[in-house]
């Protein structure tokens, strides 16, 4: 997340430097999102044997090498290659982090804890676009990635010294006992994707994937929509325009997490203590039915028809609303996934991220051509309609969740959550 957001403000400079165009360079964002999603499955699956801590540490050298490679790229092909290495190295951090949260928090506290974790993660994404824009304007996009590589080295030291292992039964050799140091064992990373055979998890992650696409729909073409309408040409200012969306994410994460916990507790009370996992998904309606589609259509209308300072201010407010509302979709789906598969928390989050990454990568590859051909307003309206259809899938899961889980059992966890 941090890497692609820092990259977007520099796309015009990258295109000029590598003798290409922005539409082609934007594929580096799409490719890195896809690579991140698929690589996360690898790191999460290996964590079932070697634990969360070791997998996070192993990824950092790849991340640093990829960042240096991006900085040294002399062609679009080399840029794409090193972006994939960079993405591979940092891919495991989010699902493994969610796995740590799942390891140490109980059911009715988990949503709030995941919200706080997401909020801390978003502190970095809040600064990334602005720093990316500043580096592009006053130094170069190459210098930015060299600094990112140096930061990776600092991260390694901090994590090595401060992060304990939380998955105390991670070794498949020990069958739940306190694990000894395991012999080498490679776990098939595609095994985690099999968890999406569950209709509940498959449909929920379709909805989360559609939600994630809305972020790219708004932010990837921002220089062509908001920038063009309000005559913003500075990369640093374009990067700063990402801030409202990220602040919305930052504030929305703990609110969405805690709200989903409240919804779960209230429905459990109504059911006289019976836990129904799908009750958590009732929190999605705030984002999926109201905030996300409203912000999409509103942003398209304002950046098309409202000029001047008023239009710019309203556009930035709508970016904030989208970021805030998106947490009520993606974060709640992640919490629901961990509720269902607590014993495989990192694996299901990684599988969901991989699936959503495929959806996002397709969306990113289409966004600039769509904006150029149909215009920003039409693109946003179509996306908003798809989001509303996605909420219909959430309603389907809530209504028929028990029957859907009974149809295909992928090892749902019930003990230890209550």
Per-residue pLDDT tens digits for 123-165: 666 666 667 667 667 777 788 888 889 989 999 999 999 888 8
**Mean predicted lDDT score pLDDT of the chain:** 83
Confidence of residue 36 (pLDDT cuts 50, 70, 90): confident
What pLDDT is attached to residue 20? 80
Residue 63 · residue 86 · CB < 8 Å: yes
Chain CA centroid to CA 85, Å: 18
pLDDT digits (tens, 9 = 90+) for 368-384: 788 888 888 999 999 99
- Residue 385 confidence (pLDDT): 94
Q: Does 169 have pLDDT greater than 60?
A: no
Quick one: CA dihedral 382, 379, 334, 54, positive or negative?
positive
Residue 10: the pLDDT is 66
Q: Is the pLDDT confidence value at 175 over 70?
A: no
Tens of pLDDT along 189-231? 777 888 899 999 999 999 999 998 898 899 888 888 898 899 9
The number of residues making up the chain comes to 418
Provide the whole-model pTM.
0.73
Predicted confidence band at 250 (pLDDT cuts at 50, 70, 90)? Answer: confident
Residue that wins the pLDDT comparison between 304 and 417: 304
**Mean pLDDT along residues 102-122:** 76
Residue 323's SS3 state is helix
> Considering the domain 1-167 in this protein, what is its CATH number?
1.20.1250.20
Q: Do the beta carbons of residue 367 and residue 217 sit within 8 Å?
A: yes
Closest listed residue to residue 236, CA positions, set 132, 147, 143, 319: 132
**Phi-psi region at 415: left, alpha or beta (left = phi > 0; alpha = psi -120 to 50):** beta
Please tell me the least confidently modeled range out of 16-30, 194-208, 350-364.
16-30
Most confident region among 118-122, 296-300, 410-414 by mean pLDDT: 296-300
| Cα atoms found within 13 Å of the Cα of residue 397, Cβ hemisphere only | 28
Torsion of CA 178, 184, 189, 192, to 10 degrees: -20
What architecture does CATH give domain 192-407? Up-down Bundle (1.20)
| CATH 1.20.1250.20 domain range(s) in the chain | 1-167, 192-407
- Lowest mean pLDDT across 22-26, 49-53, 90-94, 178-182: 178-182
Which pLDDT score is estimated for 352? 87
């Amino acid at each position: 997340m941090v890497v692609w957001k820092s990259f977007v403000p520099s796309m015009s400079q990258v295109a000029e430097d590598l003798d290409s165009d922005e539409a082609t360079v934007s594929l580096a964002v799409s490719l890195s999102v896809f690579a991140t999603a698929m690589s996360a499955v690898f790191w999460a699956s290996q964590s079932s044997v070697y634990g969360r801590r070791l997998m996070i540490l192993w990824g950092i050298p790849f991340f640093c090498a990829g960042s240096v490679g991006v900085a040294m790229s002399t062609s679009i092909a080399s840029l794409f290659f090193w972006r994939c290495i960079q993405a591979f190295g940092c891919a495991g951090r989010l699902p493994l982090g969610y796995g740590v949260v799942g390891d140490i928090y109980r059911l009715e506290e988990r949503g709030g804890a995941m919200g706080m974790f997401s909020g801390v993660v978003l502190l970095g994404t809040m600064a990334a676009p602005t720093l990316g824009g500043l580096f592009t304007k006053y130094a170069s996009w190459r210098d930015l990635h060299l600094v990112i590589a140096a930061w990776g080295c600092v991260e390694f030291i901090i994590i090595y010294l401060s992060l304990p292992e939380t998955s105390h039964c991670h070794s498949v050799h020990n069958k739940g006992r306190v694990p000894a140091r395991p012999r080498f064992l490679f776990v098939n990373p595609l095994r985690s994707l099999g968890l999406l055979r569950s209709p509940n998890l498959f449909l929920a992650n379709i909805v989360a994937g559609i939600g994630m696409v809305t972020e790219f729909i708004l932010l990837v073409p921002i220089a062509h929509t908001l920038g063009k309408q309000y005559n913003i040409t500075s990369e640093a200012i374009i990067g700063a325009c990402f801030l409202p969306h990220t602040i919305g994410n930052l504030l929305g994460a703990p609110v969405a997490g805690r709200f989903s916990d409240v919804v779960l507790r209230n429905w459990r009370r109504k059911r006289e203590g019976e836990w129904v996992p799908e009750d958590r998904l009732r929190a999605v309606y705030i984002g999926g039915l109201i905030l996300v589609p409203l912000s999409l259509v509103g942003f398209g209308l304002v950046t098309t028809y409202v000029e001047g300072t008023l239009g710019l201010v309203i556009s930035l407010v709508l970016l904030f609303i989208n970021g805030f509302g998106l947490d009520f979709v993606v974060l709640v789906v992640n919490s629901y996934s961990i509720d269902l598969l607590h014993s495989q928390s990192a694996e299901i989050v990684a599988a969901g991220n991989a699936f959503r990454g495929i959806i996002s990568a397709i969306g990113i590859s289409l966004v600039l051509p769509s904006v150029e051909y149909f215009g920003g307003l039409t693109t946003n309206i179509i996306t908003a309609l798809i989001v509303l259809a996605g909420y219909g899938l959430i309603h389907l899961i809530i209504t028929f969740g028990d029957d859907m889980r009974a149809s295909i059992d992928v090892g749902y966890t019930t003990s230890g959550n209550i």
